[in-house]
Amino acid sequence: MILARVFLPFALGYYLSYLLRVVNAVIAPDLIRELGLTASDLGLLTSANFLAFAAFQLPLGILLDRFGPRRTEGALIFSLAQSLDTLIIGRALIGLGTSACLMAAFKAYVMWFPPDRIPLVNGFQMAAGGLGALTATIPVESALAFTDWRGVFLVFAVLSLATALILFVTVPKRGLGAGAGERFADQMRGVREVFTASRFWRIAPLCVASQATFLAIQSLWAGPWLTDVAGLPRDAVAQYLFLVAAAMIAGNLTGGTIAMQLGRFGIKIMTVAVTGMVLFAVIQIALVLQWTDWALAFWMLFGFFGTSGILPYAALPQEFRSELAGRVVTGINVLSFFGAFAAQWGIGAVIDLWPKTAAGGYAPQGFQAGFAMMLVLQIAGLAWYAVSGRGKET
């Protein structure tokens, strides 16, 4: 009953949210050709989703803790847009509309599942997002043989409305947040409690750097990298991205399972998370050095270990009062998505520092510099985590 009425509806919402988030990696050539976008334009356009997503996270955390996840949940404008400005507005509305899909699920799982099961349930939730990423690759590329990118987004608009109705009708009404009777001032004190906690800021820089890198690259720049650096044709790019999304699903399921199993032996979730984020950073060295002979293997490892940054979302709420769970996960999420916005746009701006190649693609040196920039930020996050935790258990 809980599986059907709690997990499946939220998983469906996140599936669609992730599909909309990453689809630009496949349709990027169409957007560039039709609208003449630079790398910076493409980064800004795609990252507008992250900006709107992030902007609503703190209000969302209060709403989740006050009203519960059931009552807290535009592709159409994007499909009709004729200019970059309108595309950005449409993309931002998509981000705003899907901003509750993951955080509402995490809040619901804290309410409905025992603490030792949350990493696994969260992993399955993220795997649903991976299925959305899968759908955004070969299936979308195949659909473009019958319609254009505008037709694809019209379909997404219809699916979005249907998903909202399913969530409203199916998810149980039980579970007003423990803070349902709180005054606004009390709610804001809860936000302040989260953002002034040293345990929050020990984890946040590493988690944000890792998540921002994964979201920015996987949802956009992986596709152009495969085209302009590895020299793959469009159908092969879609196939590679499909396999990267499959590796992402495996990473989410494996990470959640390992965290739950090792927890029985006293090994903390953050230990598993940090190990995964270290391996994620190591894999990126191959992408920075542009070892294209093994591109598929490295990108699949990128997808697999890139999911490690989501494990702190299960660990952090356990460090605070239960009624703050919504504000804790949205607190880390607002930083992650602002980071993803800055990273996705910033990588595009760095790529634009080099002129396009004779073939009309982006210069490999631009990708190298942009990806290296993100790797340095992750190394800094790892160093801060280690230094700030001296004498403390992970």
Sorted by where each begins, the domain ranges of the chain are 2-170+184-388
pLDDT over 90 percentage in the chain: 30
Average pLDDT over all residues of the chain: 79
Q: What is the pLDDT of residue 220?
A: 87
Q: What is the pLDDT of residue 305?
A: 97
Question: Closest by alpha carbon to 13, among 52, 62, 69, 87?
Answer: 69
pLDDT tens digits, one per residue of 202-241:
999 999 999 999 999 998 899 999 999 999 998 899 899 9
pLDDT tens digits, one per residue of 182-200:
566 777 787 888 889 988 9
Question: Greater confidence, 349 or 27?
Answer: 349
pLDDT tens digits, one per residue of 246-288:
998 899 888 878 887 888 888 888 899 999 999 999 999 999 9
* CATH superfamily label, 2-170+184-388: MFS general substrate transporter like domains (1.20.1250.20)
**What pTM was estimated for this model as a whole?**
0.76
Q: What are phi and psi of 359, to 5 degrees?
A: -80, -5
Question: Greater confidence, 211 or 145?
Answer: 211
Q: What is the pLDDT of residue 73?
A: 40
CA distance 82 to 78: 9
> Looking at the predicted structure, is the pLDDT value of residue 76 above 50?
no
The amino acid occupying position 258 is I
